[in-house]
A and B are shown apart, each in its own frame.
Chain A
Amino acid sequence: MTLHPILAALRKHKAGVVLIAMQIALTLAIVCNAVFIIGQRIERVNRPTGLDESNLFLVTQQWVGAPGEDVPGGVDKLDAMQLEDLAALRQLPDVVSVAPINSMPLLDSSWNGAIATKPGDTQFRGKSVTRTTYYFSDEQVLPTLGVRLVAGRAFNAGDVVHQGFRDQRDPDIAILTKALADKLFPDGAVGKAVYLNGGNKPVTVIGVVERMQVPYAGGGDEVAWNSTLIPARLNANFARYAVRTKPGRLDDVMRAVMPALYKVNPMRVLDDDSVRSFGEIRDKAYRADLGMAILMGVVCLILLCVTAAGIVGLTSFWVGQRHRQIGVRRALGARKIDILHYFQIENLLIAGTGVVIGVLLAVGLNQWLMSHYEMTRIPVLYVLTGVLAMLAIGQAAVFVPARRASNVPPVVATRAV
């Protein structure tokens, strides 16, 4: 079959052709970018924290009328209160381990700074300085969070000190994540010295853990796992405890926490948000990402349906208009399959024009999103899949009206002129 008669016929229906092509182009542009956004969000949500997230929960509590850090003996008193809490939590049935910690991955509350291989260096130039998040905890931190040690050693009880929350003193030793260690010391970090926040005191790296995400969920991959662990309990009028329970006992232990802590000391604030499983922390951190993915998914789905329905509607109209011509073609010897192919090729031509414009629009929209939001360049694979999907949808949508056209009997040609 030659294309000439199809093109000639299309010229008679300019408006309809332009509308369908435009609709396909716009749909392709939006769907490509929306699916790309969905992909990115899902990728972010699936980023590993490095923790063993099951059977883990976090307690956040604040003491009422605790001594200030700056009154004499205040820090020691606060530390004694914290140790009492830790002892009470460690004694609860079904608790595997407990660690005091200033924050958690995905918690969105962080203590950040600069870590360098040279003293007095805080300017983020070159590879010798990078940003990091500090986690302050004790010797129980690795088993409690389920973080795996890959080099050196873990903290032991003798390493752990305690200090006021605002006390800016540098520690003697630290554990780094592998991401951070590899950045600073490509040939092994254990035993080397790092300098924190532009300080001059060497801090010895005693171990490297496989992976531990920073508290901020939205960061790019280049900072997402830059964590430094410091063996210190921070003393302030509030404290956080990470608790690991035996498998399947999470809910029971979480229920037992409040009474146990009130028994130690009733002068404290514990509310609904105080005891949260890691699952809840994760859900809260990624709520917007997941919501965005769902919205984009729904919009894409409806868009594709609307576009397909539009093609069905307009093609049906054309089939109705050309009822007689089809009859004439059939009477002149065209087979049913020829009529079917005619409409299918016609649709392919229109959709083909649409997707060419759509690819340009999709790239343009992506460029615009890149310049205004944190977006990356859309991979060719997404656009190609989009193109194929649009052509397939066009073919699927045109099939029903085209089959109806192919069923027009040749006798129509002989009816009244």
Chain B
Amino acid sequence: MFAYYFQLGLRSLRRNPALTALMVMAIGFGVAASMITWSVFRAVSGDPIPGKSGQLYTVLVDNRGPQYNDKGEPPEALTYTDATALVAARKAAHQTLLFEVAPSVLPEGNQSLPFIAHGYATNTDFFGMFEVPFEFGGAWRASDDEGRAAVVVISHALNQQLFNGADSVGREITLDRHSYRIVGVTAHWDPKPRFYDLFSGNAFGDPVQVYLPFARAVDVEMDTAGRNNCGSNVDFGSGRDAWLHGECVWVPMWVELADQPAANAYRDFLTHYAAEQQRAGRFHWAPNVRLRDVNNWLDYKQVVPPESRISLMVALGFFVICLVNTIGLLLAKFMRRAAEIGVRRALGAPRGEIYRQFLIEAATVGLAGGVLGLLLTALGMFGVGLLFEPQIARLAHLDASLVAMTLLVAVVATVLAAFYPTWRAAKVQPAWQLKSN
């Protein structure tokens, strides 16, 4: 019976071509608009490190006082003083600190010109905490951090560019005229959004190319390429050392804490640390600390661009209107066939059969709309670049799950929309219809 009703449905698509085309187009446009915006929203709002996002926390300590804070929130990263002190305290299972660098790379031998490699100065815990996969070698050792060693981890892409993808562990690379020994090459790793460096607005930035020890980068006076926020009224004099130990905020710090009790204990430790700074006369205000896990941090920093949210909502509203439109048109389409329904009912078809027939017919319309929607979605993917920044637009793509979802949403939505018209169709009184003919 299903196959027969499906055939009937296909046939009825041709019966009122104008009305049917209208419905198919409404569903097609509605579902395509929703899917295009959804694909972007899905890309920007995903959990960048599933399974571990609840154990990684960014550490924030108010170092400049309540009068400079927005709604009482401490600055979004730490000062050099606080970050190095908290990492040295080793009160969490793992702790890392980082700042963005953009050293120039001087390719050897050949005549090519120097270029900039984006990366981070960090410590060895970074790689384990954020589950960075390695292609060759591995992270540097803790002793390299302490020894301020000239070692570096490079990305798969940079290794490809400099060494044609060969195992380059042990070879040398020149960054800003200093030589570094390569200890590891990462496999492709580029979590989106880049939760660990939202401070510098790098949520959807280009992939990272180099990682080097924090202490080494400080030693060679590598400047931060990220944000540097000296927003408070603290006169720290001039010169690099003064800046380093001043109250400028530029070092994001992360800790890994296994469970809630560990997080509570760490928060207590932070409060204690801030209280100590207050006693020492560095802070003139009550401790104000935050420990935010990955998802909390993504929410707080409002990583999902407002464009993405608003356009998704507009698209969904649009889809709802298309469905309301479909209800009306299906009603017209079904009720035109009141006489036919009357005949079927008079010949003994129970209401259930009428329901089945018309819902399947609606599903056929939905499927046709879904196919059109799929074409429009594929077309729309080219247009995504118009609406979003290129680094966000490139995250949107048409994959198997999106294809399945487009068709499913179209069919399910149309069947839902068809319930009322079908109910009306099933209520047709056979006697009236037979009489009027």
Contacts and interface: CB of A to CB of B under 8 A. Distances in A.
Are the chains A and B members of one assembly? yes
Interface of A: 15-16, 19-20, 22-23, 26-27, 29-30, 34, 37, 62, 64-65, 68-70, 120, 122-123, 164, 166-169, 197-199, 236-237, 266-271, 287-288, 290-292, 294-296, 299, 302-303, 306-307, 309-310, 313-314, 316-317, 320-321, 369, 373-374
B116 A16 contact: no
A306 B26 contact: yes
B324 A269 contact: no
Nearest to A315: B332
A306 B29 contact: yes
A271 B310 contact: no
Interface size bucket, B side? 35 or more
A292 B310 contact: yes
Contact of B321 (A26, A65, A69, A288): A26
Contacts of B420: 15
B318 A302 contact: yes
Contacts of B311: 292, 295
B67 interface: yes
B114 A267 contact: yes
Contacts of A321: 335
Nearest to A69: B240
12 contacts: A26-B321, A68-B221, A69-B240, A70-B241, A167-B238, A169-B238, A270-B113, A299-B33, A307-B321, A309-B26, A313-B19, A313-B332
A15 B329 CA distance: 11
B424 A15 contact: yes
B387 A373 contact: no
B325 A307 contact: yes
Contacts of A168: 230, 235-236, 238
B386 A23 contact: no
A218 B230 CA distance: 22
A306 B321 contact: yes
Which 9 interchain pairs have the tightest Cβ spacing? A291-B387, A317-B332, A65-B177, A198-B233, A310-B325, A70-B240, A19-B328, A64-B104, A291-B386
Main secondary structure of the interface of B (DSSP, over half): helix
Given A292-B311, A303-B321, A19 B306 contact: no
B33, B235, B243, B332: most-surrounded residue (chain A CB, <10 A): B332
Interface string B217-257: 00001010000001011011011110100000000000000
Interface string B316-351: 011011101101110110011000000000000000
A290 B386 CA distance: 8
B176 interface: yes
Given A37-B310, A291-B307, A306 B317 contact: no
A309 B325 contact: yes
B84 to A, nearest CB: 19
Given A20-B328, A166-B240, A302-B29, 9 more contacts: A16-B331, A26-B317, A68-B240, A236-B223, A237-B223, A292-B307, A307-B325, A310-B324, A373-B310
Nearest to B327: A19
Contacts of A266: 113
A68 B68 CA distance: 31
B106 interface: yes
A268 B102 CA distance: 13
B22 A309 contact: yes
Contacts of A34: 314
B221 to A, nearest CB: 5
Interface of B: 18-19, 22, 25-26, 29, 33, 67-68, 102, 104, 106, 113-116, 176-177, 221, 223, 230, 232-233, 235-236, 238-241, 243, 305-307, 309-311, 314-315, 317-318, 320-322, 324-325, 327-329, 331-332, 335-336, 386-389, 420, 424
A375 B310 CA distance: 11
B116 A271 contact: yes
Contacts of A197: 233
A64 B33 contact: no
Given A26-B324, A30-B321, A313-B332, A64 B176 contact: yes
Main secondary structure of the interface of A (DSSP, over half): helix
Contacts of A296: 314
B329 A310 contact: yes
A65 B103 CA distance: 10
A270 B112 CA distance: 12
Contact of B314 (A30, A288, A290): A30
A34 B313 CA distance: 11
Contacts of B33: 299, 302
B310 A306 contact: no
Contacts of A69: 240
A292 B387 contact: yes
B329 A314 contact: yes
A30 B313 CA distance: 10
A64 B175 CA distance: 9
Nearest to A71: B221
Contacts of A199: 235
Contacts of B243: 166
A193 B306 CA distance: 41
A199 B234 CA distance: 9
A261 B268 CA distance: 55
Given A27-B321, A64-B177, A166-B238, A123 B67 contact: yes
Given A30-B314, A271-B116, A295-B387, A313 B329 contact: yes
Nearest to A65: B177
Nearest to B237: A168
A393 to B, nearest CB: 13
Given A15-B424, A166-B240, A313-B22, A294 B387 contact: yes
Nearest to A268: B114
Contacts of A236: 223
A303 B321 CA distance: 8
A62 B104 contact: yes
B328 A23 contact: yes
B318 A299 contact: yes
Contacts of B327: 19
Nearest to B384: A291
B336 A320 contact: yes
A22 B324 contact: yes
A62 B321 contact: no
B26 to A, nearest CB: 5
B114 A269 contact: yes
A176 B239 CA distance: 28
Contact of A269 (B29, B115, B307): B115
